[in-house]
Amino acid sequence: MSGSGTNPLLEGLPLLGDLPDLEGASVLVRVDFNVPLRPCDDAPAVVTDDFRIRAALPTLEYLSSHGAQVTACTHLGRPDGSPDTRWELGPVREELARLAPQIELMENLRFDAGETANDPDFVKKLVNTHDAYVNDAFGVSHRRHASVVGPPTYLPSAAGLLLQKEIEALGRLLGRPDRPFVAVVGGAKVADKLGVLKALLHHVDALVVGGGMAFTFLAAQGHDIGGSMVDRDRIDECAQLLDSGTPILLPTDIVALEPGAPFGCDGGGGEVRTVGADIPGAWQGLDIGPETVGAYADLIAGAGSVLWNGPMGVFEDERFSAGTAGVAAAMAACAGYTVVGGGDSAAAVDALGLEHEISFISTGGGASLELLEFGDLPGLAALRGAPNAPGHRKS
């Protein structure tokens, strides 16, 4: 049942059909139910977005329909290796019970320090009493955590349907994408994405840069970026990328906020002004301007494949959300193959009601970037080493 086609990521990767007979088997499924929670008055917290839970349902239903007893496991939040009431899975368990009542859910994996430390003893504790393992958590498959890389050492294992979809979609971009291939990359810190930008330059026909990271590129071009975010230690690297020969589009106009004024979820005060690529005084650039939105949208419209990861501005503040909304609308209108690389970009598409207009929305922002940068993930490599993986079968 495994297959590679033209996607090298699938080579040697065991899929659900490669598992032994599931009738009566106990199957551990690593899911990514790291979902947003909101307190409900004095009542327990509730799940505010169940996208990641719904995304795992096809795998959970497949296993159940084939007779398996399924136990799901996930992390939630960032507890420090010990139980924390803020990150208990009660609200997630309630939502899962509504959608798939036959599925059990363990308590937060990160309540045990052995999870992030990849402790062999914690791995043994996880696999105890289980007959097989399925990884359907693309969003954490770039982590060398116990629940991600440990179980395939002991159990017949497989990639779940969601994980398979993720690597098929992203592998299409790494393999033979429809041309021209355009990558739109935003977000705050250029240091976080320099590696993937360098990797993308070998694949794309054009690279579009927005968000806070754009100001380090503008500084590399000699522009005055005012009081905007800049990583001065990375200016030379950005200059090298600009000289790579691959077209890199940068903002030509900026939506800026007067010095010292608050912005973000609690913002609202201060003068907002659209300026050119040079920002006056200590004004802070917080979004791409309308001219830039138009140029980016035109490039996206003519693309055969588009990858978008990262907002164009501080989109949680309505004054600086037009750039992100404009790119999202252009992605939705594009006739080519469009992929949104999880994280804030996926949240923006969902908030704008455009999720059904995108070819594929990834559930993992960081994982999608690492896959594009390195060409593989620890979670995938672990599955290829499972006892039932195609490359490990005995003749």
Question: Domain containing 37 — which CATH number?
Answer: 3.40.50.1260
User: Would residue 53 count as lying in a domain?
Assistant: yes
User: Would residue 318 count as lying in a domain?
Assistant: yes
Q: Is the pLDDT of residue 3 over 50?
A: no
pLDDT band at 153 (very low <50, low <70, confident <90, very high): very high
289: containing domain? 179-335
Q: Does residue 64 share a domain with residue 23?
A: yes
Catalytic residue among 186, 211, 285, 343: 343
Task: Give the CB-side neighbour count of residue 183, counting CA atoms within 13 A.
Answer: 28
And the tokens for 51? 């996208």
CA-wise closest residue to 358 among 321, 294, 322, 307: 307
Q: Does residue 266 share a domain with residue 186?
A: yes
Q: What is the pLDDT of residue 97?
A: 96
User: Would residue 363 count as lying in a domain?
Assistant: no
CB–CB of 139/132 below 8 Å?
Answer: no
pLDDT band at 1 (very low <50, low <70, confident <90, very high): very low
Catalytic residue among 124, 144, 189, 198: 189
Catalytic residue check, 385? no
Q: pLDDT tens-digit profile of 106-141?
A: 999 999 999 999 999 999 999 999 999 999 999 999
Q: What is the pLDDT of residue 395?
A: 37
CB–CB of 351/328 below 8 Å?
Answer: no
Q: pLDDT tens-digit profile of 254-267?
A: 999 999 999 987 77
Q: Is the pLDDT of residue 269 over 90?
A: no
Q: At 20, phi and psi to the nearest 5?
A: -65, 175
Position with higher pLDDT, 182 vs 348:
182
Per-residue burial over 330-364, b = 16 or more CB atoms within 10 Å of its CB, e = otherwise: bbbebebbbbbbbbbbbbbbbbbebeeebebbbbb
Q: Does residue 64 share a domain with residue 153?
A: yes
Q: Which amino acid is at 33?
A: F
pLDDT band at 41 (very low <50, low <70, confident <90, very high): low
Average per-residue pLDDT for the chain: 93
Q: pLDDT tens-digit profile of 215-252?
A: 999 999 999 999 999 999 999 999 999 999 999 999 99
Q: What is the pLDDT of residue 39?
A: 67
Q: What is the pLDDT of residue 341?
A: 86
Please state the domain count of the chain.
2
Catalytic residue check, 172? no
Catalytic residue check, 343? yes
Catalytic residue check, 52? yes
Q: Does residue 325 share a domain with residue 184?
A: yes
User: Would residue 346 count as lying in a domain?
Assistant: no
293: Cβ contacts below 8 Å, ≥ 6 apart: 312, 322, 323, 326, 327
Q: Is the pLDDT of residue 25 over 80?
A: yes
Distance CA 55, CA 28 (A): 17
Q: Does residue 223 share a domain with residue 96?
A: no
